[in-house]
Amino acid sequence: MKIWESAAGFKEGVRTLPHYAKLAPITQGFIILLLFLSVNVLDYSLMKDLPDGRNVYIAFVTACMIPGIFGIVLSLYWKKPITWAYSIPGIIVFVSGIVNFVYGETLGACIVAGVIVLVIGFSGVVNRVMRWIPLPITMGMVAGVLFRFAVDIVKPLGVIPLTVAIVLGCYAVATLFREKIKIPPIFIAVVVGLIVAVVDGSLNIGAMVFGGLGVARVMSPALPSFGAIISVAIPLAILTIAAENAQAIGVLLTEGYDDIPKGKRVPINAMTILSGVGGIIAPFFGLNNTNIAGPATATAASPDSGPPEGRYTASFFGNIGCIIVAILAPTTFAIFQCFPLTLISMLAGLAMLGVIIGALQRSFSKGAGFLYGASFAFITGIAGITIFKISAPFWALVIGTIISLIVDRKDWRMRTSA
């Protein structure tokens, strides 16, 4: 098995870029920018109450320049719609690590996660590792850990019922017609929420100021404890390989990129290696990790981006958008700070809804198997338990796998024979 898959080459990608840089991929690239901006709502809602939360958030988002640069280079090098970002479920692991451990120690654990991913990538056995913990169990953990955000979508009904009704109504209509309007429903929800908040006076416009531009800062990661490695590094590495990269790789395979350009396969091992490299670099600047982005890659790889051989340009422009969001990090914090907190929680839930639905589908769809393991991983994730400073994502995987080995034996036998 080749560890580093062959590519069209950076020179070839740059040469054909002007030919394919039409309105369609540029539009899709703009939509990817909106996706990055919308996810910032989640980042803000999770980090605003942390000790020194403003600086944690600004450093985190500013460091997104790293995946932006990765995505630009790699989309040109492989001429495939490879869009780079960071693990959205991994944000939960990252923030829970900061809560249970010191900031520097959590960054150190993220570096360990990058090393784990790098070693697995160089081993050439990525597919085996991805199957080591069955995907339904991993997805059950993801759905359970993120489920509280889904609950936050409807919680504000008792506080701001009219705002919730208007935002949800617009989100539902935008979702229904998303193929026609080509704008992410969550972006429309954010815009409508902003307008409603201005009209009802809950948005403090007077406090809104230009927050300046993001400047990358070099952090000082600390040597992580055993608990930090167990509760942060291992779940983050598993999420990077089995959830984030797996989703994006599946999109590329589905869209035929195992032979686009001709004879150039989807670089599964190389992308895993580069996720590890990025995962080692990113924490030095305050970011949890880097990996190929599932939803953004799906946007770039869609038929709306133009002919298949030219869709890599959508990723190119989308990753430029990622860098723009990174540069504006202090300003986005200043804007989100003026929003009513209940509305922020609701929008964060909507931003995560697609991830949650996807995880639930892959956990409990007919024929997926490992039903008991996925169920207990889901339940444990919802419970949010922390034992010995080891947070829920790890225990969800452990409990789900143990229960599955006991109860889902038929699925394990079928998996082994396959």
Please state at what angle helix 23-47 crosses helix 329-337, rounded to 10 degrees: 60
Dist. CA 319–CA 227, nearest whole Å: 34
219-252 pLDDT per residue, tens: 999 999 999 999 999 999 988 887 678 778 878 8
Question: How confident is residue 23, by pLDDT bands cut at 50, 70 and 90?
Answer: confident
Q: Is residue 60 part of a domain?
A: yes
* Mean per-residue pLDDT of the chain: 87
Nearest to 147 by CA among 331, 383, 316, 333: 383
Q: Provide the domain count of the chain.
A: 1
Q: Is residue 3 part of a domain?
A: no
41 in Cβ contact with 352 (< 8 Å): no
352-361 pLDDT per residue, tens: 787 788 889 8
Dist. CA 343–CA 193, nearest whole Å: 7
Dist. CA 343–CA 153, nearest whole Å: 9
324-336 pLDDT per residue, tens: 889 988 887 777 6
Dist. CA 189–CA 197, nearest whole Å: 12
pTM across the whole model: 0.75
Q: Is residue 176 part of a domain?
A: no
Neighbours of 417 (CB within 10 A): 6
Neighbours of 223 (CB within 10 A): 11
Q: Is residue 160 part of a domain?
A: no
DSSP 208-277: ---------------PPPHHHIIIIIHHHHHIIIIIIIHHHHHHHHHTTTTSSSTT----HHHHHHHHHH
108 in Cβ contact with 223 (< 8 Å): yes
Q: Is residue 1 part of a domain?
A: no
Q: Is residue 223 part of a domain?
A: yes
User: Could you identify the residue written with the tokens 């339904």?
Assistant: 136
Q: What is the mean pLDDT of residues 3-9?
A: 89
Q: Is residue 19 part of a domain?
A: yes
Dist. CA 372–CA 405, nearest whole Å: 9
pLDDT at 1: 58
Q: Is residue 193 part of a domain?
A: no
Dist. CA 267–CA 261, nearest whole Å: 12
> Which residues form the domain of 230?
10-151+203-340+354-417
Nearest to 26 by CA among 298, 260, 312, 308: 312
pLDDT at 389: 65
pLDDT at 374: 95
60-103 pLDDT per residue, tens: 999 999 999 999 999 999 999 999 999 888 898 999 999 999 99
